[in-house]
Amino acid sequence: MGKINLARVDERLIHGQVMITLSQRSGVNSIFVVDDVVANDKFMKDLYKSAGSRTGQKTIVMSTEKAKYYWDEFHFKEYSAIVICKTVNVIYELVKYGIPLTELNLGGIAKKNPDDKQVTKSVYMNIEDAKKLKELRDDFGVENIYFQATPSSEKTSLTSVLSMFNL
């Protein structure tokens, strides 16, 4: 049975030294990019697979539904994966579906709406996403949720971010 060693939300998906450093974590042998748009665009899919291969890890690009199927049918085989997606909503959907993870890193989310709040230098969030993260921690066992743009930057705790939303 496979395992998710780390889940990351970053709109840039696979990029530069961040993914190289993260992919060198103990036991990681693959990167799963879960994004419906990328999975359905052959050029983008090939681009991300190529970028992922530079980390030395097998890179699989799939839609949210394919990730659920891959879990149901194969329990991610023998992969020890980093799962990366663009939004909190995708991670929330995967965990609610039953895909287990214990560590979630939020690295880069741009401001999209006027009511989005800057919670770290590189992450903007709305109250709905903050509530989803709280639910993942409190109700679904995602024990370690933190905000960190790069592995060398300071971590910001979920508790600290939730306080910005009075949660």
Which residue range(s) make up the domain with 158?
3-164
- What is the rounded average pLDDT of the residues 150-159? 93
Residue 55 is predicted with a pLDDT of 78
Closest by CA to 153, choosing from 133, 123, 114, 132, is 123
**Lookup: tokens for 70:** 């891959």
Q: How many domains does the chain have?
A: 1
Other CB atoms within 10 Å distance of the CB of residue 67: 24
Residue 25 reports pLDDT greater than 80: no
Q: What is the CATH number of the domain that holds 33?
A: 3.40.35.10
**pLDDT of 15 higher than 80:** no
Q: Is the pLDDT of residue 26 over 70?
A: no
Q: What is the pLDDT of residues 54-64, one digit of tens each?
A: 778 889 999 99
CA-to-CA distance for 165 and 60, rounded, in angstroms?
35
- Which amino acid is present at 134? K
Q: Is the pLDDT of residue 158 over 90?
A: yes
